[in-house]
Chains A and B, each alone.
Chain A
């Protein structure tokens, strides 16, 4: 009887898991296996795929556009991750400081709201804000007596402009993380420091920042992963221009794969992106599985 019910329970467990497993295999694992296979083929959307060994890789490393796209992607990561981290930390500290409770809710909502919007809405709005003739940003710089920049068309400023929009869009996500982390720091730490006569600045340097180590790592890892995959902002705001200065790796993959239908070549680049991201996705998975429920610090 006992053995019977145990076997039944095992069967039930597998049955409950089965739909998920089947879908994961069909829509994640099989495409992944194919994604590895495709890099060895000349695979155009029509016609028979042709095995060409490592030719895709050889072509890729001598492809100047690929190398520059890779560099633009790293440049974008550098332009976005540190400001996101520093700004979201500061905003969270302010939102968690001794201010009126209503203001706490307000600042938190205000900073999270943009993150709920779709990337199209964000980018189309910012494209107009950046407009050198009537955009509000050029109006603001003009009133400050600065030179007007044609942000999205200027080769030097196009990428920083895309980065600024991205920082604005995503900061809320990290603010929430930091606030959650800050709330988990025991008040007794600060009280003890106050008894020793520590200033606010010292409390920040010696208690807040080091105790939030885990949150810092989480913010860095998730934001690097997000920024490495940057596509929508570039596609919508600059289409990779001016003169390819904002073409990132996903943008180039999209162009090669879905505009010229060179699927094998595009997948080879996607595979390289996968390898670069592997380090960070593994780190993220380790972080996620290493802590107990809702503990951030």
Chain B
């Protein structure tokens, strides 16, 4: 029994390490000279920061970083506010047409964003929002996934709390802001973390909406950088990769619990 435990643990650890090798190489290569990379080395012969210096000087990476950060943060904040309110309405309030509105709010699931990308682009263009961060933020706001996760969570909160508060004369808004929303904080964080990483990592939509190099988000900028600038070698690109990954990895380290729960909640 004991031996089996050792063996299985060793297997698990070994497998995880092998699985992470591509990432390990990415980080190591970001400290290597072009010569080291071309030699197929793992450990840099000389640890150097040149790649990071090059990428910070040459590329518009700070612009891209800010674009990604601003659109992801504002988008996430907007989603949380708008979808929490509507989820509260369809899950905690009783009114005629409630079920219909709930089904309506889930319609986004039936319309994949890729299927409407072209007419949406034409609309954004008409609004003058091409090369504008609002062009990324606004279409992201009506998230059926957020309403779904939040309303499922709120539905499961027992009615007792609410009834007690009502007897004490609390109004609907008191109940919402003082009882249900504070109790829904775990679900709200899950929704926030999930959507932040989704907007941060999205590639297709920003590729279409951002045509000006200054307005690229990080994922789009990285690809443009690797493809266009002939003077950029492999090392700097790996350095850019590391810099682009750090924020999500930080979010992941601190919010792992919420993220993994989000995975389960988002499919059920």
Contacts and interface: CB of A to CB of B under 8 A. Distances in A.
- For this complex, into which size category does the number of interface residues on chain B fall? 35 or more
Contact of B117 (A180, A270, A281): A270
Interface string B62-101: 0000000000000000000011011011100111101001
Contacts of B234: 128
Given A9-B172, A110-B20, A176 B107 contact: no
Interface stretch (B5-13, B44-52, B53-61): B5-13
A185 interface: no
Contacts of A26: 123
Determine which residue in A9, A19, A173, A229 has the highest number of CB atoms from chain B within 10 A of its CB, and name it.
Answer: A19
Question: Which one of B22, B83, B156 has the highest number of Cβ atoms from chain A below 10 Å of its Cβ?
Answer: B22
Contact of B260 (A34, A176, A258): A176
A35 B118 contact: yes
Given A91-B15, A111-B16, A13 B89 contact: yes
Interface stretch (A54-62, A117-125, A201-209): A117-125
Q: How large is the interface on A (under 10, 10 to 19, 20 to 34, 35 or more residues)?
A: 35 or more
Given A16-B89, A20-B85, A116-B248, A270 B118 contact: yes
Contacts of B11: 94
A210 interface: no
A121 B114 contact: no
Interface in A229-288: 229, 231-232, 235-236, 250, 253-254, 257-258, 263, 266-267, 270-271, 273-274, 277-278, 281-282, 284-285, 287-288
For chain A, what secondary structure do more than half of its interface residues adopt (helix, strand, loop), or is it mixed? helix
A119 to B, nearest CB: 5
A294 B115 contact: no
Contact of B241 (A121, A136, A273): A121
A114 B23 contact: yes
A106 interface: yes
A239 to B, nearest CB: 9
A123 B227 CA distance: 12
Interface of B: 4-5, 8-9, 11-13, 15-17, 19-23, 25-26, 29, 37-40, 42, 82-83, 85-86, 88-90, 93-96, 98, 101, 104-112, 114-123, 138-139, 141-142, 144, 147-148, 152-153, 155-156, 172-173, 197, 200-201, 203-204, 207-208, 218-220, 222-223, 226, 234, 237-238, 241, 244-245, 248-249, 251-252, 256, 259-260, 263-265, 267-268
